[in-house]
Amino acid sequence: MAGDPIQLDAWSRVQGSPTPLGATWIDSVKAWNFTLYSTDATAVRLLIYGSGDFLNPIRSYDLDPAVNKTVRVWHMLVAAADVPGAAYYAFKVDGQQNPSGGQLFDPDKALLDPYARGIFLPPDFSRAAAAAPGANDGKAPLGILPAQSPIVVPASNRPVPHTHDLIIYEMHVRNFTNDPSSGLDAATRGTYAGVIAKIPHLKELGITAVELMPIHQWDPQEGSRWGYMTLGFFAAHNGYATGGVAQNAFGELREMIDALHAAGIEVFLDVVYNHTTEGNQLGPNYSFRGIDNSTYYLLNPDNYSEFINDSGCGNDMRTAHPAVRQLITDSLRYWAYALDVDGFRFDLASILTRDETGAISSDPPVISEIGSDPRLSTLRLIAEAWDPAAYELGRGFPGLTWRQWNGKFRDDVRCFIKGDDSTVTALMTRLYGSTDLFYDDTLTDYRPCQSVNFIDCHDGLCMYDLVAYDNDGQNSWNSVSPGQDENSPAVAALRKQQIKNFCALLMLSNGTPMFCAGDEFMNTQQGNDNPYNIDDPKVWLNWNLLTANQDIFRFFKYMIAFRKAHPSIGRSTFWNQQNPDVQWYGVGASPDESAESHSLAYSLKGATVGDSDIYVMINAWWEPLVFTIQEGAATDWSVAVDTARPSPDDIFAPGSEPAIASLTYNVQPRSIVVLLHN
């Protein structure tokens, strides 16, 4: 697509156009069109800056409401010839200064355009200056002016969406390659280009989708290093660009996504529309609060000077308001069209279900608008369907076709592998696809793929730390029995075995599997279960562990390949128990669902999807158990996986699986065996 996004009539050539929002280059008239939405502003000043002086603008324009305002949108056309050397822009906005009425206008503050497509942080950028009263000139974030060229959207190279072979890999762009052990040069480490350099690793592992922790521009002075404190919803984070050059961020991000697509890997963006980096009433006045505070944020109805904070991050966005709904959908469409991404993961998505008062709505407008959009509705939409004040997992979340992060899967599988009592029944439900949360009937027609199954994510302990540290809140166990030396070979072997158990159950479960970058080679965060504010080797991936733990990498790679090779596991429907597709067993003919039981077996028929039958035996007890295989003859079965065996006999390449000797199998303590029908 090329050409002007705005067609100007004669009057618009004088006053500018009220659409689209933000700054837009119009090549036909060699000018920028600026627009800003504000419900209660009484005056707006547009500031244009050059590339070297961020304190004094080249020119400033006071917009005349009689000419440059249409309803609630302020707009102006500025010819490039009038501002030679122009590079950046900002606004100053005045209005009633009435905190108790929810209005926080400060005419001295330089404010960032909420629709800025690129954000520049000057050398003296200061969060403290934005939070203090008075001017912050020279210290404010600035919007980058769009390039003086026609808009050109590159042709799409998106891969065909994956089905049963969808494997999601959660990744933080900087942490992924920032450690010198990544083998990359200093300029490439921790960047979008660094991800490109590691695509061969992703392909060898078998990853078919990466879920990028936030790449929207976030505030580097807020304290969090994960990216969840968004400064601008339309700008790529410049800290991940080579050399941190803001002007290069979007282009390098696009190159990374194109390279992933060329490798057949889908790209999902983790997006944060539930709150912003501006925090509570004591936070910085960067953009939203100084432009239209009562529109953008949910305020306490008993005291409008206070923000509702169900997100736990200082503020909640007022997502039911038409202007905020438009901001969210415009942002999503921008990334969908400009970057051609394959989907979005919505952080604390329950905030999106709040109505204008902050109460939960059964039919939230923003969810409906996303679902009815002709482009967005075709993408992968993934909800973290909870926030600190509401848990809407499964049928409670109103996005009926959305995938959801399944926190119940995480909790139940962790507890079972740790050896907790009363966990067998829950494990059966999770393996089956979490029918207690996602069921298909004539009313809802949920699918098991909507359950995004995970053992770990950026929140909480990573997979290795789950088996190396005790943390009751994380359902973890350090794999050390009373009297054992933690540094003994036996403990190290058990930790590897438990990680293989986690991987096996994740890949054997109906639903959509997801795990964290580095799990495949036992990366550790040294027991830190919330390293949101850390940016050092404790959270950067240590690629030396890939060499040290090639056996675990091999297991992950082969287990992923096993799942892909057997579409009977990740079906589009739940395993049928009437035909049946699945039959549950224990060490004998019936599953033991008592509180003291720690074992389970099942067979999964593959005929309905043209697949081989699979027989799985699971022993989470600390003693060996002899399972009696309930189907066929011994000659019918071969061993595909046995997590108790050392590598390479823990998982076999297709065609090399050894036959079993009898219909009894001694399943070792804390291990999983998978048989494949010959």
Q: Which amino acids are annotated catalytic?
A: 347, 384
Strand 97-98 to strand 103-104: parallel, antiparallel, or no bridges (unpaired)? antiparallel
Residues 612 and 448: their CA atoms lie apart, in Å, by 20
> Backbone dihedral region of 394: left (phi > 0), alpha (psi from -120 to 50 degrees) or beta?
left
Residue 161: is it exposed, middle or buried by C-beta count within 10 angstroms (0-12/13-18/19+)?
A: middle
Q: With beta carbons less than 8 A apart as the criterion, state whether 189 and 239 touch.
A: no
CA neighbours within 13 Å on the CB side: how many for 170? 24
Angle at 400 between CA 399 and CA 401, to 5 degrees: 95
Residues 78 and 146: their CA atoms lie apart, in Å, by 13
Q: Which residues on adjacent β-strands are paired with residue 671?
A: 619
Q: Which three-class secondary structure state does DSSP give residue 613?
A: coil
**Which helix (H) or strand (E) segment is 296 a member of?**
helix 288-296
φ/ψ of 12, rounded to 5, equals: -65, -25
Per-residue exposure over 597-628, b if at least 16 CB sit within 10 Å of its own CB, e if not: bbbbbbbbbbeeeebbbbbbbbbbbeeebebe
Residues 326 and 349: their CA atoms lie apart, in Å, by 17
Closest C-alpha among 586, 602, 417, 606 to residue 500:
417
Closest C-alpha among 614, 526, 619 to residue 570:
614
Angle at 675 between CA 671 and CA 677, to 5 degrees: 175
Question: Can you give 186-200 as a three-state secondary structure string?
Answer: CCCCCCHHHHHHCHH
Which residue spans within 245-318 are E strands per DSSP? Answer: 266-271, 299-300, 303-307
Q: With beta carbons less than 8 A apart as the criterion, state whether 42 and 9 touch.
A: no
Q: Which three-class secondary structure state does DSSP give residue 83?
A: coil
Residues 366 and 385: their CA atoms lie apart, in Å, by 15
The pair of structure tokens assigned to 404 is: 């959801």
**Which helix (H) or strand (E) segment is 561 a member of?**
helix 550-565
Residues 273 and 281: their CA atoms lie apart, in Å, by 19
Q: Which three-class secondary structure state does DSSP give residue 33?
A: strand
Q: With beta carbons less than 8 A apart as the criterion, state whether 560 and 507 touch.
A: yes
Closest C-alpha among 427, 424, 432 to residue 581:
432
φ/ψ of 268, rounded to 5, equals: -110, 140
φ/ψ of 259, rounded to 5, equals: -70, -40
Closest C-alpha among 229, 57, 219 to residue 125:
219
| Residue corresponding to tokens 């891969």 | 159
Angle at 472 between CA 521 and CA 416, to 5 degrees: 65
Residues 248 and 254: their CA atoms lie apart, in Å, by 10
Residues 535 and 172: their CA atoms lie apart, in Å, by 11
Q: With beta carbons less than 8 A apart as the criterion, state whether 243 and 232 touch.
A: no
DSSP class of 533: T
The pair of structure tokens assigned to 495 is: 């930790």
